[in-house]
């Protein structure tokens, strides 16, 4: 498994297609949540993903969002692991890679995320703290969380 970190303009057409496909599989179909996934933020984000080279497919993905697009700090969103690869530590490695992107590309700024509520313990284990009450986003409970880097 190898991680890739690319700006939008560095992605190949096939990678854009694969990213869109796996995001739809997880967030729209699996979570039964119809929403507009491509929201124009992708164009300004870093895209972090790993591939299973033997099967030639993306197995985990996140996007690193610059500050002032979602929050007044950089953010990490669209975090996913393909259902066939879950519970193998890929989510943790993906988040650590994404945090490094923020440290290296955004002057080590703090991070705010909108986490699915059921994953808050996972994010706590990475140092994130809850900063909001539970709220509904597209029919799924969420909570805002913050990671202090500076």
In a domain, 135, yes or no: no
Beta-bridge mates of residue 60: 50, 81
Under 8 Å between Cβ of 42 and 66: no
Q: What's the number of domains the chain is made of?
A: 1
Q: What residues contact 11, with CB distance under 8 A and at least 6 apart? A: 19, 47
- Residue 104 within a domain: yes
Q: Is 143 a member of any domain?
A: no
Task: Give Cα separations from 51 to 12, 28, 94, 102 (angstroms).
Answer: 14, 21, 11, 21
**Cα 36 from chain centroid (whole Å):** 16
- Domain with residue 21: its CATH number is 3.40.630.30
Q: What is the pLDDT of residues 98-126, one digit of tens each?
A: 999 999 998 778 999 999 999 999 999 99
CA distance 73 to 25: 28
Domain-embedded: residue 62: yes
- Domain range enclosing 52: 2-108
Q: Is 108 helix (H, G, I), strand (E, B) or coil?
A: coil
| pLDDT single digits (tens) 54-87 | 998 999 999 999 999 999 999 999 999 999 999 9
Average pLDDT over residues 124-131: 97
Please report how many Cα atoms fall inside a 13 Å half-sphere around the Cα of residue 44, on the Cβ side: 12
Domain presence at residue 132: no
pLDDT in tens, 78-94: 999 999 999 999 999 99
Half-sphere exposure of residue 17: CA atoms within 13 angstroms, side-chain side: 4
Q: What is the pTM of this model?
A: 0.94
Say if 43 falls within a structural domain: yes
Q: What is the pLDDT of residue 82?
A: 96
Tokens of 33: 């949540």
Helix (H, G, I), strand (E, B) or coil at 137: strand
Choose among 112, 32, 40: nearest CA to 77. 112
Residue 142 domain flag: no
């Amino acid at each position: 498994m190898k991680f890739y970190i690319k700006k939008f303009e560095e992605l190949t057409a096939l990678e854009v297609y694969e990213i869109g496909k796996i995001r739809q599989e997880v967030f729209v179909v699996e979570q039964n949540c119809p929403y507009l996934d491509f929201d124009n933020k992708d164009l300004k984000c870093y895209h972090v993903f790993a591939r299973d080279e033997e099967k030639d497919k993306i197995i985990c993905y996140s996007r690193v969002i610059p500050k002032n697009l979602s929050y007044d700090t950089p953010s990490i969103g669209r975090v996913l692991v393909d259902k066939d690869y879950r519970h193998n530590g890929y989510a943790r490695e993906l988040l650590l890679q994404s945090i490094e992107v923020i440290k290296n590309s955004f002057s080590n700024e703090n991070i705010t995320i909108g986490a699915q509520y059921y994953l808050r313990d996972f994010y706590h284990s990475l140092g994130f703290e809850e900063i909001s009450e539970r709220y509904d986003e597209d029919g799924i409970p969420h909570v805002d969380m913050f990671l202090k880097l500076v």
